[in-house]
Amino acid sequence: MKTVAIIGSGVMGSGIALCSAQSGYETMVYDINTDALNKAKSYITQLIDTSISKGKSTEEQKINTLAKLKFTNNFEDLKADLILEAILEKLPLKQDLFQKLEDQNSPNCIFATNTSSIPITQIASVLKHPERLVGVHFFNPAHLMKLVEIIKGAATADSIAVTAFEWAKSLGKTAVYAQDSPGFIVNRVARHYYVEALKALEEGVADFETIDRLMESIGFKMGPFRLMDLIGVETNYSVTSSMFEQFQFDPKFRPSRIQKQKVDAGFHGRKTKKGFYNYE
């Protein structure tokens, strides 16, 4: 595998692209929105500069990494050995995307989805060759977090899953296999880090800053509200809504009305300068 394409230039997509380019892969970043691509370039450069300032990288490595990156809003450019999507957590969008990719790529192209909650089998059900689709789930921030879940759908070929596993390892990640179940391993367990924190806020147990301080004081690197702002409040809400539906509307996965209000107001966190916290 030599070439990788990442679809979606948000925080997650940009982080994955950075890891890929740093590991020597020719990496393309696609987004329909030109402004989003420009923000992704700035964000990736900022991440590298921060790494240099901490003595973890060099100017030479920065030059080499940026040389491996290409940014495009032309869908026809999306041809690679591995194409990974990091778009909105909506089943129809993902299915439509992979159907289009299947039409313009060689039979050897591997398709990967960074879905947090939607079963791989469900996404692959509309494809001519569902055996080519595998789940490759990174965690935010992708350039720092080591874990990557590799998920086989019912039709995913063993060789495709193994290749995805080895690719994740080549990025310096800790890859693990997970069953094709809603939320897989981590999101199923960690969803309640957000959901219960939001319930405590709704019930007036404490304000969000206090909840964050308490969780950080017992060892979590980020409280749930700071983490939602980093991931994207709308992204987090979308994943919770998806899991609520996937688990047949089990109340323990119920999305929060407070979080929905933030989404409706456009307060998506760091990316919009306002979420639960103000970043103006």
Q: How far is CA 40 from CA 79, 114, 148, 231, 258, in A?
A: 20, 18, 21, 15, 29
* Amino acid at residue number 85: E
The secondary structure element, H or E, covering residue 229 is helix 224-231
Is pLDDT at 166 greater than 90 in this prediction? yes
Active-site residue flag, 268? no
Is pLDDT at 192 greater than 90 in this prediction? yes
Instruction: Please give the average per-residue pLDDT across 217-234, as a whole number.
Output: 95
State the catalytic residue, choosing from 14, 51, 116, 256: 116
State the catalytic residue, choosing from 105, 137, 241, 268: 137
Instruction: Please give the average per-residue pLDDT across 178-195, as a whole number.
Output: 94
State the catalytic residue, choosing from 149, 236, 238, 241: 149
Is 52 exposed, middle or buried, given 0-12, 13-18 or 19+ CB atoms closer than 10 A? middle
pLDDT of residue 231: 87
**What are the structural domains of the chain?**
3-178 (3.40.50.720), 188-272 (1.10.1040.50)
Tokens linked to 164 = 């995805």
Over the range 120-131, which residues count as b (16 or more CB within 10 Å of their CB) and which as e? bbbbbeebeebb
pLDDT of residue 101: 98
Active-site residue flag, 137? yes
Active-site residue flag, 187? yes
Count each helix (H run) and each strand (E run) in the chain, helices first: 11, 8
Is pLDDT at 76 greater than 90 in this prediction? yes
Spatial distance between the Cα atoms of 158 and 137, rounded to a whole number of angstroms: 17
Is pLDDT at 146 greater than 90 in this prediction? yes
Mean pLDDT, all residues of the chain: 96
State the catalytic residue, choosing from 14, 105, 140, 187: 187
pLDDT in tens, 9-23: 999 999 999 999 999
Tell me what percent of the residues of the chain surpass a pLDDT of 70: 100
Active-site residue flag, 149? yes
DSSP 23: T
pLDDT in tens, 37-63: 999 999 999 999 999 999 999 999 999
pLDDT band with cut points at 50, 70 and 90 for residue 154:
very high
pLDDT band with cut points at 50, 70 and 90 for residue 75:
very high
Instruction: Please give the average per-residue pLDDT across 240-256, as a whole number.
Output: 94
Is 77 exposed, middle or buried, given 0-12, 13-18 or 19+ CB atoms closer than 10 A? middle
Instruction: Please give the average per-residue pLDDT across 166-184, as a whole number.
Output: 96
pLDDT band with cut points at 50, 70 and 90 for residue 140:
confident
Instruction: State pTM to two decimals.
Output: 0.88
pLDDT in tens, 84-96: 999 988 999 999 9
- Count Cβ atoms below 10 Å from residue 256 Cβ, excluding itself: 18
Is pLDDT at 97 greater than 90 in this prediction? yes
pLDDT in tens, 107-125: 999 999 999 989 999 999 9
Instruction: Please give the average per-residue pLDDT across 178-191, as a whole number.
Output: 93
Paired with 274 in beta bridges are: 269, 278
User: Is 12:40 a contact under the CB 8 Å cutoff?
Assistant: no
pLDDT of residue 141: 86
User: Is 29:9 a contact under the CB 8 Å cutoff?
Assistant: yes
